Amino acid sequence: MVNHFEQRLLAAEGKAMFVCMSRRICVALHDEIIKLRPHWYNAEDDKGAIKVIMIGSASDPLDWQGHTSVISREGLKSATG
């Protein structure tokens, strides 16, 4: 997926969206992509090249919290227009 996306960017600008079967899989996919391309990651909403957007609950694992805050979703909404 990462190589395909990078090859696609050589031809034209664009974005990619991955839809996963579960929130656990989304977080795991994000973490694996970051291992391959650590420079794509930034915890700030308006920085970095990769984000996970998902609804959270109080029972979510701690390592999911950076992906689920209302503030993050609102920040991404304004950053992406």
Q: Are 54 and 67 in contact (CB under 8 A)?
A: yes
What confidence score (pLDDT) does residue 35 get?
A: 96
Q: What is the DSSP letter of 46?
A: T
Averaged pLDDT score across all residues of the chain? 83
Band (47; pLDDT cuts 50, 70, 90): confident
* CA dist list (Å): 20 to 5, 10, 23, 39, 81: 17, 26, 7, 23, 24
Task: Give the three-state DSSP class for 27.
Answer: helix
Band (81; pLDDT cuts 50, 70, 90): low
Four-residue CA torsion sign, 44, 78, 18, 57: positive
Q: Are 53 and 73 in contact (CB under 8 A)?
A: yes
